[in-house]
């Protein structure tokens, strides 16, 4: 979602004559778009600011520095206090005001610099204000934000505090943006949301549309592939699961974070489902679309997590058989209920559990990739590969695919035979 926001910021800035440069030393404006989800991500901005400071000193330019994103939203003035070089701080809800913000930090030579923190939640929805037509920087596989914010308040998570309440963009806005992206060369749309499958909104005919209805309408456009990310198990409807069978363009890939396999931990996390509920969704979706690749998110070391709880997490991984998954050590986030719980888990226990979990997931990804050896698959070629006449693309199951071929093939969906599988990619020969 930050990637999407960054693209939109670049589009807003273009009419003001800001264009991407090849290195930070040549920039008049540097915006760090930040993530607050885990402490490590949030702390990264200070080391990055240190690096930029050195570059600025040697380039001797009067470069404006802005901190955007959820760290900006959560820390606001604190960033200005801790990093005097920062001119501007804003959050994910106010970036549409970038032109006005840049105007108000303009400083005349010799006068002290003006600084601004803009993290108030605005009355207007930024999506109504973003008028620049889309021309995605990544055009072939284009991101499209359709839902933002979250009201679920999982006890470990900062998103409801930084991205605000859950909103669904109206279908006419989404369809218009999709058409603009397609006209700029998109072959694949990746629908984004913190809980994208919670989307429900006003349709083109003023009636209320469900998320699968939106996908169906988008699939009528001249687009080759549609994906969506990230889904919440509580919002997985039967209609959505069935869409993976009924809508050809909807790709066989489901990212469905479970976080833990322990019912006790899931309850403490306020996730609103059990091990059995989650398995029911996976089984049902596979009934509709047996080949669907399932991916997930996991947190190990949530406060009070016992060995037995962790074993339940390993058990759910064994049962699901993931194509791919992300896993993290629990990170205590300021202001969240979990941060105030007792029994925080020692760092070395977390590390040990993470290693065991990641080894298991890695093995599953390897097995998943291996099962494709010798098969013919569809690949959307989206960029040049490493080296001359090499190409990179994605399978329908979101595996990275490498192959020999000419750059003129970028943007095409081709048939290719898997000659070799690796831990995180497939090597293919174009058929
Ligand atoms: N809305 C999605 C996830 C969005 S956040 C869902 O609920 O499934 C992306 C991922 O970051 C989460 O799935 C979770 O695994 C991880 N995450 C969020 N807060 C975290 C924390 N405090 N510590 C470690 N990982 C966290
Ligand atoms: Fe965070 Fe996802 Fe829970 Fe919302 S549903 S609070 S985004 S983990």
Question: Token digits for 86?
Answer: 């920062």
Q: Does residue 293 surpass a pLDDT of 80?
A: yes
- Average model confidence (pLDDT) across the chain: 94
Average pLDDT of the residues in 398-421: 97
Pocket of ligand 1 (CB under 6 A): 37-38, 156-157, 159, 194-195, 230, 232, 257, 259, 297, 299, 328, 330-331, 333
Ligand nearest to the CA of 149: 2
Closest CA to 395 of 381, 405, 407: 381
88 backbone dihedrals φ, ψ, rounded to 5°: -145, 135
pLDDT of residue 136: 67
Residues with Cβ < 8 Å from 371, sequence gap 6 or more?
none
**In this structure, what token pair is assigned to residue 102?**
């840049």
For residue 409, give Cα distances in angstroms to 135, 140, 181, 222, 306. Answer: 21, 12, 19, 19, 52
Lowest model confidence (mean pLDDT) among 126-130, 255-259, 265-269, 397-401? 126-130
Q: Among 47-51, 55-59, 174-178, 206-210, where is mean pLDDT lowest?
A: 55-59
Nearest by Cα to 289 from 349, 345, 238, 243: 243
More reliable by pLDDT, 120 or 88? 88
CA distances from 309 to 306, 344, 351, 353 (A): 5, 14, 16, 11
Report pLDDT for 131.
Answer: 79
pLDDT at 116: 93
Percent of the chain scoring above 70 in pLDDT = 99
Tokens representing 51 are: 């690096």
CA 158 to ligand 1 center in whole angstroms: 9
Q: How far is the CA of 38 from the centre of ligand 1 (A)?
A: 8
**How many Å from the N-terminal Cα to the C-terminal Cα in the chain?**
35
Residue range 225-248: mean pLDDT, rounded: 98
Report whether pLDDT(122) > 90: no
366-405 residue pLDDT tens: 999 999 999 999 999 999 999 999 999 999 999 999 999 9
Domains of the chain: 2-118 (3.40.50), 126-370 (3.80.30.20), 376-430 (2.40.50.140)
Q: What percent of the chain has pLDDT over 90?
A: 86
Half-sphere exposure (Cβ direction) of 382: Cα atoms closer than 13 Å: 23
Mean pLDDT of 209-215: 97
Residue nearest to atom 8 of ligand 1 (CA): 257
From residue 36, give the alpha-carbon distance in Å to each of 69, 96, 134, 159.
8, 20, 27, 8
pLDDT computed for residue 270 by the predictor: 98
Give the bridge partners for 390, in sequence order: 404
DSSP letter, residue 328: E
| pLDDT given for residue 120 in this prediction | 87
In this prediction, residue 57 has a pLDDT band, given cuts at 50, 70 and 90, of: confident
Sign of CA dihedral 152, 158, 162, 168: negative
pLDDT tens track for 11-41: 999 999 999 999 888 999 999 999 999 999 8
Q: Are 269 and 229 in contact (CB under 8 A)?
A: no
Closest ligand 2 atom number to CA of residue 160 = 6
What pLDDT is attached to residue 260? 98
Beta-bridge partners for 393: 381, 401
Ligand 2 centroid, distance to 232 Cα (angstroms): 8
* Closest to 255 in 3D by CA, of 198, 215, 197: 197
- Confidence label for 121 from pLDDT (cuts 50, 70 and 90): confident
Q: Residues lining ligand 2, judged by CB closer than 6 Å?
A: 150, 152-154, 157, 159-160, 194-195, 232
**pLDDT recorded at residue 221:** 98
Stretch 216-220: mean pLDDT: 98
Q: What integer pLDDT is reported at residue 134 of this predicted model?
A: 84
What is the pLDDT, as a whole number, of residue 9?
A: 95
Q: How far apart (Å, rounded) are the C-alpha atoms in residues 315 and 326?
A: 16
**DSSP labels, 40-61:** HHHHHHHHHHHHHHHHHHHHT-
Phi, psi (rounded to 5 degrees) for 185: 115, 5
Read off the pLDDT of residues 129-177 as tens digits, 9 standing for 90 and up.
887 788 766 789 999 999 999 999 999 999 999 998 999 999 999 999 9
Cβ contacts of residue 247 below 8 Å, gap of 6+?
Answer: 212, 215, 216, 219, 226
Do strands 413-421 and 425-430 pair parallel, antiparallel, or not at all (unpaired)?
antiparallel
Cα dihedral 208/210/215/218 (nearest 10): 0
Q: Count the helices and strands in the chain (H runs, E runs).
A: 14, 19
- Give the residue whose CA is nearest to atom 11 of ligand 1: 37
Place of tokens 């989650």: 278
For residues 54-62, average pLDDT: 79
Residue among 393, 397, 398 at smallest CA distance from 416: 393
Q: Which one, of 142, 136, 231, 218, lies nearest residue 174 by Cα?
A: 218
Stated as kind and residue range, the H or E segment containing 398 is none
pLDDT of residue 61: 80
Predicted local confidence at residue 123, as pLDDT: 78
- Kindly state the tokens that stand for 408: 């003129």
- Please give the pLDDT value at position 161: 93
Q: What is the mean pLDDT of residues 398-416?
A: 96
* SS3 call for 208: strand
Residues 400-426, mean pLDDT to the nearest whole number: 96
């Amino acid at each position: 979602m930050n990637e999407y926001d960054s693209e939109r910021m670049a589009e807003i800035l273009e009419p003001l004559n800001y264009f991407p440069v090849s290195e930070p030393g040549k920039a008049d404006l540097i915006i760090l778009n930040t993530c607050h989800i885990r402490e490590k991500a949030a702390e990264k901005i200070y080391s990055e600011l240190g690096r930029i400071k050195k570059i600025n000193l040697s380039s001797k330019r009067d470069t404006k520095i802005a901190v955007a994103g959820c760290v900006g939203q959560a820390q606001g003035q604190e960033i200005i206090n801790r990093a005097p070089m920062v001119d501007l701080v804003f959050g994910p809800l106010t970036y549409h005001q970038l032109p006005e913000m840049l105007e108000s930090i303009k400083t005349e030579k010799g006068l002290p610099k003006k600084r601004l923190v803009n993290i108030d939640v605005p009355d207007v929805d930024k999506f109504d204000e973003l008028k620049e037509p889309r021309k995605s920087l990544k055009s072939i596989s284009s991101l499209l934000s359709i839902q933002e914010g979250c009201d679920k308040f999982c006890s470990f998570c900062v998103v409801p505090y930084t991205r605000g309440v859950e909103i669904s963009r109206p279908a006419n806005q989404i369809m218009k943006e999709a058409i603009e992206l397609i006209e700029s060369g998109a072959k694949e749309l990746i629908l984004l949301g913190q809980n994208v499958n919670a989307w429900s909104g006003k349709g083109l005919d003023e009636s209320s549309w469900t998320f699968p209805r939106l996908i169906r309408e988008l699939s009528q456009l001249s687009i080759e592939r549609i994906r969506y990310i990230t889904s919440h198990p509580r919002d997985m409807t039967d209609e959505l699961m069935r869409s993976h069978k009924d809508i050809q363009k909807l790709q066989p890939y489901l990212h469905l974070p479970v976080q833990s396999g322990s019912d006790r931990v899931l309850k403490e996390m306020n996730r609103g489902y059990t091990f059995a509920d989650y398995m029911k969704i996976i089984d049902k979706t596979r009934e509709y679309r047996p080949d669907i690749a399932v991916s997930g998110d996991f947190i190990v070391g949530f406060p009070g997590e016992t060995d037995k709880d962790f074993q339940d997490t390993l058990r759910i991984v064994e049962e699901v058989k993931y194509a791919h998954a992300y896993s993290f050590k629990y990170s205590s986030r300021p202001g969240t209920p979990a941060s105030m719980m007792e029994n925080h888990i020692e760092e070395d226990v977390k590390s040990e559990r993470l290693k065991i979990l990641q080894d298991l997931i890695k093995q599953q990804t390897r097995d998943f990739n291996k099962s494709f050896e010798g098969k013919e698959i569809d690949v959307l070629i989206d960029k040049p590969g490493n080296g001359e006449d090499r190409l990179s693309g994605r399978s329908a199951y979101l595996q990275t695919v490498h192959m020999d071929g000419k750059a003129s093939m970028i943007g095409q969906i081709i048939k290719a035979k898997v000659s070799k599988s690796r831990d995180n990619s497939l090597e293919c020969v174009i058929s």
